[in-house]
Amino acid sequence: MKPEIKDLIEISNYYGINKEFVISGGGNTSFKDNQTLWIKANGQSLENLTEDGLVALNREKLHVISSGNYSDDPATREEQVKKDLMQSILDPGKNKRPSVETSLHELIQYKYIVHLHPTLINGILCSRNAKNLSLKLFGESLLFVPYIDPGYTLFKKLESEILLYRQKFSHDPQIIFLENHGSFVGADTTEEIRTIYNDIFKKIEEHIPLISDLTPIPGNSLLQKFVPGIRLLLSDKQPGVIRFRNNSLIAKYYQNQQEFHKISLPLTPDIIVYCKTRYMYVEQASSADKILESIRHQLPRFLSEYGFTPKVIIVKVNLIRHKLRFTLFPMSYISLINSNIE
Ligand SMILES: [Zn+2]
């Protein structure tokens, strides 16, 4: 194995194993020399990445995508871009598709690129103050890109932003933050990538206080009564799995409709992938029967409106109010992900 590929696998596994940096198949990593770019294949997790899970692409062919004459219709355009991407693959016999974010990796002129969705960074990137906060903490060492749906439009936006940055500073940005999404860090060695990420996390931890009273709330007796019922209601032919989680932060959002509303839409593409775009709220907490009744009542409308059964149901299980020093809004979401129905 090329030593550079060994380093790439090592750093991928290092970040992939920690859910604070990336979950499931999210994030991607790459290495490039003058002719070839090696990138994590689609659907692979960073945690288990091996050399076999990489796709090698011809960089010259990848450049076609930048000047491609593609359709205005987003769906057709994405298909056309995908076709050009597939044509750059050096070993199509391996039957692996490159990550959809491959062209973003090609844009940044460092040998190694590590793209993650870290909870800590997304805490800033999903906040209302994302841009100001990012620039305040990292100044011009960072390129901030406002939210754009992943795909070709994001690629074109990033391309023009990097060009401007390059003109101004005569080098590429080593840190790129994508609003409501995650981070790209580029460097010529994986050691430098680690140093940069460590510095980023240190700086955020120093400047933004974490929620100090995230206390778990133990399950109450109601739980045993209504959880099996929910499982029955939502299981198809295959029985589903339900995970329940309750803590002082989640409690803040189930106390009433108004609070629930604040977390009722997804904040990142990851949340869309794993939890879908809408969640069900059950304000009824008096008895297990009433909770189930409310879900049964809401379900047909939920299905017809959104076209899927809920992955996340937020139930007002108790009426204890908690005082929270509450800073990182999306943290709550990460908690909710774990209470999804798989
Ligand atoms: Zn991503």
Query: Quick one: residue 144, left, alpha or beta (phi over 0 = left, psi -120 to 50 = alpha)?
Result: beta
Q: How far is the CA of 1 from the centre of ligand 1 (A)?
A: 27
Assign residue 5 a region (left: φ > 0; alpha: ψ between -120 and 50; beta: otherwise).
alpha
Most confident region among 24-28, 175-179, 268-272, 307-311 by mean pLDDT: 175-179
Q: Which of 44, 51, 45, 42 minimizes the C-alpha distance to 8?
A: 51
Centre of ligand 1 from the C-alpha of residue 12, in Å: 14
Q: What pLDDT does residue 70 have?
A: 92
For the cut 60, the answer to whether the pLDDT of residue 326 exceeds it is no
Residue with tokens 């795909």: 151
Q: How far is the CA of 117 from the centre of ligand 1 (A)?
A: 6
pLDDT > 90 fraction of the chain, expressed in percent and rounded: 57
Q: How many CB atoms lie within 10 A of CB 284?
A: 16
Check whether 321 has a pLDDT greater than 80: no
What is the Å distance from ligand 1's center to 282 Cα?
32
Mean pLDDT of the chain: 86
Quickly state the pLDDT bin for 318 (edges 50, 70, 90).
low
Query: Does the pLDDT value for residue 212 go beyond 70?
Result: no
Q: What is the DSSP string of 189-257?
A: SHHHHHHHHHHHHHHHHHHSPPPS---B----HHHHHHHHHHHHHH--SSPP-B----BHHHHHHHS-H
The alpha carbon of 133 and the centre of ligand 1 are apart by a number of angstroms equal to 20
Distance 22 CA to ligand 1 centre (A): 9
pLDDT mean over 79-105: 91
CA of 125 from ligand 1 middle (Å) equals: 13
For every residue of 32-49, DSSP letters joined together read E-SSEEEEEBTT--STT-
| Dist. CA 213 → ligand 1 center (Å) | 30
| Chain segment 216-238, per-residue pLDDT in tens | 777 667 777 888 888 888 877 77
Written as six digits, the tokens of 328 are 């990182």
Considering only residues 182 and 213, tell me which one the structure prediction assigns the higher pLDDT.
182
Q: At what angle do helices 130-138 and 190-207 cross, to 10 degrees?
A: 110
Ligand 1 centroid to residue 160 C-alpha, Å: 19
Q: How far is the CA of 25 from the centre of ligand 1 (A)?
A: 10
User: What is each CA distance from 207 to 119, 271, 328, in whole angstroms?
Assistant: 15, 26, 12
The model's pTM is 0.86
Contact 162, 143 (CB under 8 A): yes
